[in-house]
């Protein structure tokens, strides 16, 4: 028999709620869940629906997701030649990351000491990812410096 699914107040979660989404909506939901640092869609959805706000949870998984999303955006920016080639879907994760960073900066989360720690982690991530937008006519590329991070991960 499987382990009982309990909420934070030790109540049994015995009800199933289901609904349909388009593949694009599901992909955006999955991306937001990962970017916000939640481990499950269930936790994200409950927080969003019942509390009308979602808290960004600063953890290593969140930082990894930011790095992966920035790498995908970098690849897409290198591929496109002008703004008309850019897919609107590219802006969705950027908006999500911007909302998260603004929330950290304005201190909307309830635990101020955690905000400082999370903000430091985000600052570390953003400083390690050096972004420069290529100018037309220059061979300058976006530079994501992940070598130092990869060495740290191998050592741990």
Specify the range with the lowest mean pLDDT, choosing from 3-12, 32-41, 134-143, 147-156. Answer: 134-143
Predicted pLDDT at 131: 40
Asked if 103 contacts 109 with a C-beta cutoff of 8 angstroms, the reply is: yes
69 — pLDDT class (breaks 50, 70, 90): confident
Q: Are 131 and 78 in contact (CB under 8 A)?
A: no
Mean pLDDT of 68-73: 84
Task: Summarize the confidence of residues 101-123 as an average pLDDT.
Answer: 53
132 pLDDT more than 90:
no
pLDDT of residue 108: 53
Non-local (6+) Cβ contacts of 6 within 8 A are 12, 13
Residue, of 45 and 57, whose pLDDT is higher: 45
The answer to whether the CB of 73 falls within 8 A of the CB of 66 is no
Q: Is the pLDDT of residue 96 over 70?
A: yes
pLDDT exceeds 50 at position 144: no
CB within 8 Å of 68: residues ≥ 6 apart: none
| Band of pLDDT at residue 141, cut at 50, 70 and 90 | very low
Report pLDDT digits (tens) over 29-44: 888 888 888 888 998 8
Is pLDDT above 90 for 110?
no
CB burial readout 51-80, b (16+ within 10 A) else e: eeebbbbbeeebbebbbebbeebbeeeeee
Q: Tell me what the mean pLDDT of segment 64-85 comes to.
A: 82
Distance CA 44, CA 36 (A): 8
Average pLDDT over residues 84-96: 76
């Amino acid at each position: 028999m499987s382990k009982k699914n309990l909420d934070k107040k030790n109540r049994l979660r015995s009800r199933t709620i289901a609904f349909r989404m388009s593949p694009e909506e599901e992909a955006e939901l999955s991306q937001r869940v990962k970017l916000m640092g939640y481990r499950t869609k269930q936790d994200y959805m409950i927080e969003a629906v019942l509390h009308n706000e979602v808290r960004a949870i600063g953890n290593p998984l969140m930082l990894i997701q930011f790095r992966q999303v920035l790498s995908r955006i970098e690849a897409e920016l290198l591929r496109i030649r002008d703004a008309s080639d850019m897919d609107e879907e590219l802006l969705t994760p950027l908006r999500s990351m911007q909302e998260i960073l603004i929330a950290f900066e304005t201190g909307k989360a309830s635990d101020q000491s955690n905000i400082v720690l999370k903000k430091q982690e985000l600052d570390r991530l953003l400083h390690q990812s050096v972004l420069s937008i290529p100018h037309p006519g220059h061979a300058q590329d976006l530079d994501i410096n992940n070598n130092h991070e990869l060495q740290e991960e191998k050592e741990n």
